[in-house]
């Protein structure tokens, strides 16, 4: 199911205008490899969210080759982005792109399971972003929620999962996302919304 009508999506893309040339290269790679990056509309939203709360410290669960991290890195002048990725070749590609744009000094890649790595990186984060295997979303929420500072954000991609969350019983990924959404919206320490852009982005403000 299309979340955003393609005519509206094209209109939005035409409004947003140009972006960093390295981001455009990364989008071309995503098209070639059929790799699931957040894309420019969500990327701009991530950038804006980070700027709105003056974020300096972001923890990203599921970084691929750094496309979403690039948007965070653009936003957090003088800050740090902790990237996590299970596949080392993605780290290598990501670091190369970030270096090309002069942003690598703001980014630290950790290779392994994001659910384990978050326990090893100390301190609170202004933003925790979840974009790992969908079946791990409920566990990621449990790990991430306590690590967001008061006034910070928990952000998660794909929470509408091509509209499958609106159906009856789905596959394991769909059910995991539904559980994630239920858990997030039942928490009293976060004010959560879903922005229905691309595949749905949950934005939850820690009170
Ligand atoms: C949807 S892609 C991330 C895309 C990235 N956020 C972007 O928009 O540019 C998901 C990535 O998370 C990685 N991944 C999946 N489960 C993971 C886990 N438990 N820990 C670390 N990385 C994981 C995958 O290898 C994949 O590269």
List the chain domain ranges: 6-206
- The answer to whether the beta carbons of residues 15 and 197 sit under 8 Å apart is no
Q: Look at ligand 1, atom 13, and give the residue with the nearest C-alpha.
A: 62
Does this model's pTM top 0.95? My answer is: yes
pLDDT at position 71: 98
Q: How confident is the model at residue 112 (pLDDT cuts 50, 70, 90)?
A: very high
* pLDDT recorded at residue 159: 98
Nearest-CA residue for atom 12 of ligand 1? 62
Q: How far is the CA of 69 from the centre of ligand 1 (A)?
A: 11
For 41-54, write each residue's pLDDT tens digit.
999 999 999 999 99
What's the CA-to-centroid distance between 61 and ligand 1, angstroms?
7
Q: Where are the beta strands (DSSP E) in the chain?
A: 57-61, 80-85, 107-111, 125-130, 148-157, 190-195, 201-206
To test the pocket of ligand 1, the residue of 62, 91, 120 to mutate (highest count of ligand atoms within 8 Å of its CB) is 62
Q: Which CATH class, in words, describes the domain spanning 6-206?
A: alpha beta
CB neighbours (10 Å) of residue 66? Answer: 30
Give residue 64 CA to ligand 1 midpoint distance, Å.
5
Going by pLDDT thresholds of 50, 70 and 90, the confidence category of residue 149 is: very high
């Amino acid at each position: 199911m299309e979340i955003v009508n393609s005519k509206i999506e094209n209109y939005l893309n035409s409004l947003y205008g140009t972006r960093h040339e390295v981001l455009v290269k990364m989008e071309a790679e995503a098209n070639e490899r059929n790799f699931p990056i957040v894309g420019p509309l969500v990327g701009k939203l991530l950038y804006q969210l980070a700027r709105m709360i003056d974020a300096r410290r972001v923890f990203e669960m599921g970084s691929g080759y750094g496309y979403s991290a690039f948007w965070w890195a653009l936003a957090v002048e003088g800050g740090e982005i902790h990237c996590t990725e299970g596949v080392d070749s993605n780290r290598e590609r990501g670091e190369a792109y970030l270096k090309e744009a002069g942003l690598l000094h703001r980014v630290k890649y950790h290779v392994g399971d994001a659910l384990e790595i978050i326990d090893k990186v100390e301190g609170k984060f202004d933003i925790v972003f979840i974009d790992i295997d969908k079946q791990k979303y409920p566990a990621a929420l449990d790990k991430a929620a306590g690590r967001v500072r008061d006034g910070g954000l928990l952000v998660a991609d794909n929470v509408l999962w091509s509209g499958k969350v609106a159906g009856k019983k789905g596959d394991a990924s769909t059910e995991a996302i539904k559980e994630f959404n239920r858990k997030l919206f039942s928490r009293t320490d976060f004010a959560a919304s879903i922005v229905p852009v691309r595949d749905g982005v949950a934005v939850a403000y820690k009170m």
